[in-house]
Amino acid sequence: MPDVVETIAGLRSQLRLARVDAVSGGLGRPRVALVPTMGALHDGHLALVERAKERAEIVVVSIFVNPLQFGPSEDLALYPRTVESDVERLAAHGVQIVFAPTVGEIYPGGDLQTKITAGDIGSLYEGRSRRGHFDGVLTVVAKLLNIVRPDTVVFGEKDAQQVFLVKRMIADLNVDVDVAAVTTVREDDGLALSSRNRFLDPKQRRAARSLSIALEAASSSADRGIDSVIAAAQSVLTGDSTIELDYLAVVDPTTFLPVDDGAHGRALVLIAARVGETRLIDNVTVYLA
């Protein structure tokens, strides 16, 4: 079983021990990879763990439902908390250290005086619907990077805007860490794995498939340009009253700004929709002709 530590001091001492073990086992200076999560782990998270294991000898998985990235009307209280089964799954994947701090450990004294702001891109798409969300994400990621000091940090491509903003923060603040982004893991019918999928009832679960179908339609229309991409995705989504589209955007992956009409080359199609009470996001890379 992994060592489950709740305090920053405990985490640092476990890391020291793991480093000493690695050196005395003849491994030289071991690399450390961090997989930040909010728990409720699924196979998508385990794919991040597998990537972390390729990159490092010591893998730390953090499990922390970060209040700072939830708005007042969001599902913080309802967010699934399944630490025991999460730890079992991580044990089966050979994770050595799980960092599962309390809110008080990460935010002693409540609110922070100093926070990271995600800038203009942080208030588009997800950030427009979830004000302050990315400030909260970047602040906790910065704290976790400072606590763990990993060589590599691993994220999932499903949260494409999060990956973009984390990379920007790391570049802007000269943080010495590599970022690895792992391809989205999907159910057999295409639905991207998400901790929130468990909230879907059977009818909503069937409807949720439309997100990935819309993205497939967008991708197959890319050789006809951006208008066709949007029309193809919209036609899938508007056919289903269970789905309330939040945004559909085609962005340049290097800037995360919307692509211009007539743009060519690689682009990212982002989608967010509410299926009942559950908000889902997904994305696909397309090649505009």
Nearer to ligand PAF, 116 or 250 (CB): 116
Strand partners, 36: 62
Piece of 31-39, 70-78, 95-103, 201-209 that binds ligand PAF (CB under 6 A): 31-39
Interacting residue with ligand PAF among 14, 61, 66, 163 (CB under 6 A)? 66
Contacts of 22 (CB under 8 A, 6+ apart): 28, 29, 30, 57, 58
Nearer to ligand PAF, 21 or 79 (CB): 79
Is 122 within 8 Å of 165 (Cβ atoms)? Answer: yes
Is 38 within 8 Å of 57 (Cβ atoms)? Answer: no
Render 59-82 in DSSP notation, one character per residue: EEEEE---GGGS-TTSSTTTS---
Picking from 286, 288, 277, the residue whose alpha carbon sits closest to that of residue 74 is: 277
Site string for ligand PAF, 183-222 (x = CB under 6 A): ----------------------------------------
Site string for ligand PAF, 124-163 (x = CB under 6 A): -------------x--xx-----------------x--x-
Which listed residue (45, 93, 133, 264) is catalytic?
A: 45
Q: How many of the chain's residues bind ligand PAF (CB under 6 A)? A: 10
Picking from 53, 42, 55, the residue whose alpha carbon sits closest to that of residue 2 is: 53
Report if residue 69 touches ligand PAF, rule: CB under 6 A: yes
Sheet holding 178-182, edge to edge: 3-5, 97-99, 58-63, 32-37, 152-156, 178-182
Is 249 within 8 Å of 270 (Cβ atoms)? Answer: yes
Instruction: Verify whether residue 45 is a known catalytic residue.
Output: yes
Report if residue 100 touches ligand PAF, rule: CB under 6 A: no
Report if residue 37 touches ligand PAF, rule: CB under 6 A: yes
Binding site for ligand PAF (CB under 6 A): 36-38, 66, 69, 137, 140-141, 159, 162
| Residues assigned a catalytic role | 45
